Structure 1
Amino acid sequence: MEVGLVDWTGGFLTGERFGGGVDVSGTALGWKQTWLLEAVPEAAGPGAGPPRWWACLRGPGGRPLVAEAGGAVRTSPLPGEGTLFVVEAHASGAWSLCEAGEGEGGGGGGRFLESDGEDVFCVACPPSPRGLWLPRLAAPALACLFHPPRGRYARADPELCRVWVDADEPEGPQCGFLVRRARGGACVHLEACRRRFVSREGRLASQPSSKTALLLRLRPGGWAALSDQRGRPLFPQGPRGLLRPADPDDAVGEGGEEQEWFQVQRLPPRVALRSPAAARFLSVLQGGDVYAGSRNATPLGSFLLEADLDGETLRLRGPHQKYLAQRGSGAVRADGEARDPATLFRALWLCGTVFLRAADGRFLGTGPRGRVRATAAEPGPREEFWLRLADRPFVVLRGARGFVGSRGPPSPPSSPPKRGLLLPPLRGDLLEPDVVELLPCARGVYHLRSRGKGFWGLGAEGALFCGGRAALNFCLELRGPHRLALLAPNGLYVRGDHRGALCADAHDPHQCLWEF
């Protein structure tokens, strides 16, 4: 879980990547103010107080937060040197962070993390109001909301303008929500599919407004609760789990306060594979056979892509929770389990085309009747596949220094750029991202368009800009968990330079991955 921490003066806890300094000089939630919270819940007995977690904080560059014996606070270049804190979530939504140790009651060492408005230190005991930190969710990526009491995921219904908590699996764009910070940062807008927004009235609205501005309370471990600005929590109600706020006279229901809490998870990428040789999409038939036989992408041809950290190896989980696996005589079936080595495939990317190599070195391909097998020693036309993201019409991209977007204002779509007017360059160091719309085309390529600003374009020396009228071909290569590389029309990969500008001049995709 990635968060920003706001102190009592409104400053963000800020870590320097070089030098290890820590202060509250940040005025906005940027990459220096983003902290990875690695938390484990503390066992609670009967009559326990507010929930607490054991946690370590990692700042820019993965540097852990360290509280020294004298009270000074810094970040360390050593990954295992971080201080363990006991994080307590209060009813107000604020957190307190106490150094873990042999303190009274076994809760902590007695020293709380606090600030004086400029510097950060760890000396206070007992805690003071200066030791309260308000968490802000850092990454506005596509997320899914899981409700543990019901065991279901939230799902937007744009036809009825409702949100139901009734999905068994987070499948399709209906289960993806984009968390966007409202002006001022205290509230968020929750954007669902088709550019609809969750409102405090229990309906989907067409535009963000004061009715869609929701308060977001966070707990360590990826837990979040939504409420309107009067403090009424939004939670699933009724047999289908309609998400709406509680009436003033209604109780939260069985389970008490826990009914309000959702677990925020990354929306796992689902893909569809098309064989250009067969001119069909892959799908799983009854019994687990895999064929390229569908003219259009269908739910039976939607595969959950699980990529390993190496960025080259992946697994594909079919619609019946079974993985594609290589079997005897080169047969490929959707009957594998997660730990089965036969479910591992190595992805080789080539200009929008992906080749999948099985564990024995043979490549997946389609036969004359569309049957998928892994028998080819060398890849050919029948081993080509075009991969398409099946569950999201847009992405939000983040690099090491911030989000991808442009600082230029949106331009009316009907007005072409004036002659001689410079179009806004794309950057990878912004505090707020552009929503990048994905327009799939033939041969596995995409047209990229920043919402409200126009298509991505390619200028001199590989510089990227947005606002162009002509659509160019980009290739998306999925290379790791929620990581992708962008191949530009000039055959080079998109990266962010030392000034933050985006340019397509890289040859190694592993050095220019973007989180989505």
Structure 2
Amino acid sequence: MPSNGLQPAPRLQFGLINSRGRYLTAESFGFALSASAPGLRPRQVWTLEQDEADGSVGFLRSHLGRYLAADAAGRVSCEAERPGRAGRFALLPQPDGRWALRSEAHGRFFGGAGDRLSCFAPAVGEAELWTVHLAAPPQANLRSLSRRRYARLSAPEDELAADGDVPWGVEALVTLSFQGGRYGLRTCDGRYLRSDGALVAEPGPRTAYTLELRAGKLAFKGCDGKYLAPVGPTGTLKAGRSARAGKDELFELEESQPQVSFRAANGRFVSVRQGVNLSANQDEDLIHETFQLQIDSETKKCALVSHAGSAWTLVSHGGIQVTGSGVTAHAAFELEWRGRRVALKASNGKYVCTKKNGQLAAVSDAVGQDEEFVLRLINRPMLVLRGEHGFVCGHRGSNLLDANRATYDVFQLLFSDGAYHVRGPGGRFWHVAGSGAVRTDGEVPEDFFLEFRARGRVAIRGKSGRYLRGDPSGALRADADALPRATLWEF
């Protein structure tokens, strides 16, 4: 057991927004604290370390690895290298979805604005209320702790049910959306989960849930005080059975990695339907034609993993098979982005080509038609983007896009032969103006190209060949010729 008395548990990261809409910040100089930042950046990210035995209390660690603490006079600091009694806070969810943080040592509440922060209030007022903003990408997979199954949209029953063994395909994508300080759960077709289990087109009071954190797990409390849980043989998600969060009401939020299909030069999709040999021989891209793109953080090479957990692997004489459960050096491929097409280079330095019989082999020294594939992103019908300055969101009062917002818009992503069209909430399309600014008032769709350059990051290239970036002023512009950090987006 760790010396601080905590049982090992997954750690959630988030920002804390005060009543004035500003984020709690751990300054890099002098370990100072403030609540004045308008967006969620690294300095505003806090890690919660909770006690397994009592999920309502825990420690808050800053991006500098120091712990928030309060003394008997109400002074707050963030200098301690180890958690101690002064840094132990009770996390108290409020009816409106916000939290109050109470010092366990002194019984006082933490709050304030700007650099005037204290932990001396005897009761909860407006200044002592904090909104939780999860730092994880809002599009994720949701796993029920009790069922050990993933939530997915079940088409026959028209419900969100925890019945998936693996989070595969677009049906397993869940988007978390802010609704006045609470969270809504959206299915892959854009509908909201209501507390009675129904899926509805528009958000409302019964689609908004208070978020509670329990030892690295999430609980969602509905407007009537009951918690979301899987119910019945199919695991239909509903809120209405329990007013306390036990194991049945706990969920894990997992990264949703991109899942893609490949259409070869013969017009057919690469598949594992026939066994271990990869062959472009299918007319539809279904489960056997979908592969998870796992990008190595250091090499930036990718593994392509099937729904059964086996990876594309280079075998003797240049053949490509889907074998084994581990990712080895022979399962690492380089992706080359070629506009509407991609090419794959195997570990032998050869490009993957499609033979006349449809089988794949890494035997080519250069890229021609047989070495090109159309890559289609399967599990992102909706797009949420966050850059180094914040989320992408429509600019108030204009048709421009901001890239430094604390909240986000959800955009529709439409595939078009290797390119993508992006449609905004108003039904019009993204396009690049002559100034390079990205606008949302296009009458006709414009091509954008998605390039998966790092784990959890995508670069977006406009039709001019330049990449989208968020500049320090907050504008979203298509004017980057290279790939600096500002062009890589969490999605």
TM-score range, shorter chain: 0.7 to 0.9
The SS at the match of 1:342 is helix
Whole-Å Cα distance in 2 between the matches of residues 11 and 83 of structure 1?
29
**Conserved 8 A contact 1:326-1:374:** yes
Partner of 1:297: 285
Once residues 375 and 89 of structure 1 are traced to their aligned partners in structure 2, the CA distance between those partners, rounded to angstroms, is 61
Distance 1:456 1:269 in 2: 22
Structure 1's 82 and 274: CA in aligned 2 closer, same or farther, altered over 3 A? farther
Q: Residue 24 of structure 1 aligns with which residue?
A: 35
Q: CA deviation at 1:210?
A: 1.9
- 156-165 or 14-23, which moves further after superposition? 14-23
Question: Match for residue 262 of structure 1?
Answer: 251
Identify the residue that residue 150 of structure 2 maps to in structure 1: 153
1:445 to 410, 419, 430: 419
**2:408 and 2:143 mapped to 1: Cα distance?**
25
Alignment partner of 1:236 is 2:230: yes
Structure 2: how far apart are the matches of 1:11 and 1:437?
Answer: 28
Question: What is the alpha-carbon distance in structure 2 between the residues aligned to residue 344 and residue 156 of structure 1?
Answer: 32
CA drift of 1:387 comes to: 1.1
Take 1:161 and 1:68, find their aligned partners in 2: how far apart are those partners?
47
Contact in 2 for aligned 1:200/1:227 (Cα 8 Å): no
In 1, Cα distance between the equivalents of 2:431 and 2:211? Answer: 37
Structure 1 residues 445, 32: CA separation in 2 closer, same or farther (over 3 Å shift)? closer
Partner of 2:435: 461
1:199 corresponds to which residue? 194
Look up the equivalent residue of 1:242 and give its one-letter code: T
* SS, match of residue 462 in structure 1: coil
Matches within 5 A, 1:185-196: 185=181, 187-196=182-191
Deviations 1:204-261 (A, max 9, x none): 112211221222222353x2111221211121122221221234xx787xxx712111
Give the aligned partner of residue 507 of structure 1.
481
Instruction: Work out whether residues 428 and 496 of structure 1, in 8 Å CA contact, stay in contact via their aligned partners in 2.
Output: yes
Whether 1:343 aligns to 2:343 is no
Deviation sequence 1:394-419 (CA, Å, 0-9, x none): 2101111111132257xxxxxxxxxx
Counterpart among 365, 373, 377 of residue 385 in structure 1: 373
SS in 2 for 1:329: helix
Counterpart of 2:15 (choices 4, 25, 33) is 4
Give the corresponding residue for 2:7.
none
| Corresponding residue number in structure 2 for 1:306 | 294
**Alpha-carbon distance, 1:495 to partner:** 0.8
Alpha-carbon spacing, 1:426–1:17, altered in 2? closer, same or farther (3 Å): farther
2:17 touches 2:23 (CA, 8 Å); kept in 1? yes
Amino acid corresponding to residue 200 of structure 1 in structure 2? S
RMSD: 3.3
How far 1:285 sits from its partner (Å)?
A: 3.0
| Residue of 209, 214, 227 corresponding to 1:214 | 209
Instruction: Give the CA deviation at 1:121.
Output: 6.2
Matched AA of 2:460: L
Give the TM-score taking structure 1 as reference length.
0.80
> AA paired with 2:223?
Q
Distance 2:140 2:130 in 1: 24
**Contact 1:141/1:266, CA 8 A, preserved across alignment:** no
Which residue of 2 is the match for residue 355 of structure 1? 343
Task: Assess if the C-alpha contact under 8 Å between 1:17 and 1:32 holds in 2.
Answer: no
Identity score, percent:
28
- Which letter maps to 1:271? V
1:413 aligns to what?
none
Secondary structure of the residue aligned to 1:479 is strand
Partner of 1:427: 402
Deviation at 1:319, TM superposition (A): 2.2
Report the alpha carbon displacement of residue 157 of structure 1 after superposing the two structures with TM. Answer: 2.8
Q: CA deviation at 1:13?
A: 4.0
Whether contact under 8 Å (2:169, 2:290) holds in the other structure is no
Change (3 A) 1:88 1:359: farther
Between the aligned partners of 1:203 and 1:342, the Cα distance in structure 2 is 46
SS at match of 2:269: strand
Aligned mates of 2:204, 2:364 — CA distance in 1: 56
The CA distance in 2 between the partners of 1:515 and 1:152, in whole Å, is: 25
Counterpart for residue 445 of structure 2 = 471
CA separation of 1:89/1:307 partners in 2, compared to 1, >3 Å: closer, same or farther? Answer: farther
Residue pair 2:59, 2:68 contacting (<8 A) in 1 also: no
- Tell me how far 1:379 sits from its aligned partner: 2.3
Counterpart of 1:414? none
> What is the 5 A alignment of 1:486-497?
486-497=460-471
Letter paired with 2:35: V
The CA deviation at 1:462 is 1.9
Residue in structure 2 matched with residue 56 of structure 1 by the alignment: 61
Distance 1:150 1:271 in 2: 27
Does the CA contact (< 8 Å) of 2:393 and 2:403 recur in 1? yes
Alignment check: 8 A CA contact 1:345 1:359 kept: yes
Change (3 A) 1:280 1:394: same
Q: 1:213 to 1:326 in 2, by over 3 A?
A: same
> Are 2:24 and 1:14 aligned?
yes
Native 8 Å contact 1:424 1:466 kept in 2:
yes
- Residues 236 and 363 (structure 1), Cα distance of their counterparts in 2 relative to 1, 3 Å cut: same
Distance 2:274 2:368 in 1: 28
Matches of 1:500 and 1:467, distance apart in 2: 19
Cα distance, 1:64 vs. partner? Answer: 4.8
Query: Structure 1 residues 272 and 251 mapped into 2: Cα distance closer, same or farther (>3 Å)?
Result: same
Cα gap change, 1:35 to 1:151, in 2 (>3 Å): farther
Q: For residue 328 of structure 1, what is the aligned residue in structure 2?
A: 316
| Structure 1 runs not aligned, ≥5 long | 76-80, 99-107, 410-422
Decide whether aligned partners of structure 1 residues 34 and 156 sit closer, same or farther in structure 2, where only a CA change above 3 A counts: farther
Does the aligned pair in 1 maintain the 2:111–2:128 contact within 8 Å? yes
